[in-house]
Amino acid sequence: MRAHEQFIAFRTILTREIRRFMRIWIQTLVPPAITIVLYFIIFGNLIGSRIGTMDGFDYMQFVVPGLIMMAVITNAYSNVVSSFYGAKFQRSIEEILVSPVPNYVILWGFVLGGVARGLAVGLIVTVLSLFFARLHIEHVGVTIAIVILTAILFSLAGLINAIYADSFDDISIIPTFVLTPLIYLGGVFYSIDLLPDFWAGVSKLNPVLYMVNAFRYGVLGISDINILWAFTMITGFIVAASWYSLYLLNTGKRLRS
């Protein structure tokens, strides 16, 4: 397949992915918006007003970056896992598998589909947050870079989950038992400076902490961790997850008999 044909194939997968989540917008775009508004009301307005400041910011201002990141992570992940597993379940994945599309094009087509939804939801949530908090982005480059890299990483994770999944239960286990605890314990709602030393150390093993803090650094200019280290780690995870996803696609594990 020539380069321009590969680009057409990539664009086809990406367009189909975007068309899919736009077609079911009531399931994909509205629920995160409602959830995040509830978070803003409960944690920001009702409880947050009693907490006071955190790292020198209103609690509402402090949690907004974390909540945006939470929406990006969960939506990037769930878009790829549900779309790819849905295609496996209906066997429509065979349409791509019998075609000459190289595996890396399949990989990036699905992953960027997840990134597109993650960013779309992130944008919706950011716009909604303006009704609750003043938002001034301190480092635009860092903010954009970290949100894109995070969406890529969790889209890759969603793809790996979907390849391994044999049932719809399998695609909800990881988000419920792994992703949600990592996000909630990843510094979305608090600074790890509030934790005892031991738990602060344990928290540093959580990769989501680095993403949330790097994003918070981009927006507010504050972070619990070193930003350079955060970027290095996320990039490392992306390289590892890409390699492993490609390995799964190349060997046909769980996809070809």
Contact footprint for another protein (CB under 8 A): 1-2, 4-6, 8-9, 11-13, 15-16, 19, 23, 86-87, 90-92, 94-102, 252, 256-257
Residue with smaller CB distance to another protein, 136 or 256 = 256
Q: How far is the CB of 163 from another protein (least distance, A)?
A: 15
Q: How far apart are CA 48 and CA 209, in angstroms?
A: 21
Residue with smaller CB distance to another protein, 52 or 100 = 100
Furthest-apart CA atoms within the chain: distance in Å:
61
**Phi and psi based region of residue 91 (left: phi greater than 0; alpha: psi -120 to 50; beta: remaining):** left
Q: How far apart are CA 170 and CA 162, in angstroms?
A: 8
Q: How far is the CB of 41 from another protein (least distance, A)?
A: 34
Give phi and psi for 190, each to the nearest 5: -150, 165
Q: How far is the CB of 167 from another protein (least distance, A)?
A: 18
Strand partners, 57: 54
Q: How far apart are CA 160 and CA 41, in angstroms?
A: 35
Q: Which three-class secondary structure state does DSSP give residue 238?
A: helix
Residue with smaller CB distance to another protein, 95 or 138 = 95
Q: How far apart are CA 89 and CA 206, in angstroms?
A: 32
Residue with smaller CB distance to another protein, 11 or 134 = 11
Strand partners, 53: 58
Q: How far is the CB of 118 from another protein (least distance, A)?
A: 22
Residue with smaller CB distance to another protein, 98 or 205 = 98
Residue with smaller CB distance to another protein, 26 or 98 = 98
Q: How far is the CB of 102 from another protein (least distance, A)?
A: 7
Whether 169 contacts 244, CB under 8 Å: no
Q: How far is the CB of 6 from another protein (least distance, A)?
A: 7
Q: How far apart are CA 227 and CA 218, in angstroms?
A: 9
